[in-house]
Copies of this chain bind each other. A is one copy, B any other.
Amino acid sequence: MRLILASASAGRLGVLRAAGIDPVVHVSEVDEDALAATLAGATPAELVTALASAKAEAVATKIVGEYPDAVIVGCDSMLHIGGELVGKPGYAEAVVRRWQAMAGRTGELLTGHAVVRLERGIRIASTSGVQTTVIRFGSPSPEEIEAYVNSAEPLHVAGGFTLDGRGGWFVEGIDGDPSSVIGISLPLTRRLLSELGTAVVSLWS
């Protein structure tokens, strides 16, 4: 039984490796923006779950020949703050604006999780769940925001911050699960795997 991570995120891979699992990484080619556009009326929790499921299902279809016995985990993270749902800023000016807007405030980082189980080449079950973690942002100075943007770290992560990198200096605290903020909740993944009959420790290397 192998765990397949349906994500290109270095953060998610790092969380799993540090927690004793060396997954096979297969990136889905799901068009996230196109899918999100079809879900205009969805709640933030429904949206991240739908995106996580689409990724896990797409990868399950792709790898079933090579890995007939596997659990495929898909995730999608977004920051919900000030009534807005925020993805990856993508470029420097957007990071600056994001931090100006969120400094000293509180947001919710939602991570949707979906797990698909394959047995002897058959998709026998799937499940999903969302972890919501409250983030209390600090108030970095303009010089600190500039240095952070220059590090390039915040450009391609949900909400324009990381918890386990340089962004950690500017997050005062959280209420929830820190691994969910990095991109994959360990306790929720453990529960979802258990629902599908897989003990997480059986996947440890």
Contacts and interface: CB of A to CB of B under 8 A. Distances in A.
Counting from the closest, the 7 A-B pairs by CB-CB distance are A178-B178, A147-B201, A168-B186, A20-B166, A175-B175, A169-B186, A169-B190
A152 to B, nearest CB: 11
A151 B201 CA distance: 10
Given A174-B177, A178-B163, A178-B178, A168 B15 contact: yes
Chain A: interface residue count, which band?
A: 35 or more
A18 interface: yes
A171 B187 contact: yes
Interface string A164-196: 111011111111111101000011011000000
B169 A178 contact: no
Contacts of A19: 164-166, 168-169
B174 A20 contact: no
A202 to B, nearest CB: 9
Given A199-B143, A201-B143, A201-B144, A187 B165 contact: no
Interface in A145-172: 147-148, 151, 163-166, 168-172
B201 A164 contact: no
Given A166-B204, A168-B186, 9 more contacts: A18-B164, A18-B165, A163-B178, A164-B178, A168-B178, A171-B187, A173-B176, A174-B174, A174-B177
A200 interface: yes
B199 A144 contact: yes
13 contacts: A15-B168, A19-B164, A19-B169, A143-B201, A164-B178, A169-B186, A169-B200, A171-B177, A172-B187, A173-B175, A174-B175, A174-B176, A178-B181
A87 interface: no
Contacts of A151: 20, 204
A121 interface: no
Given A19-B165, A151-B20, A204-B147, A187 B170 contact: yes
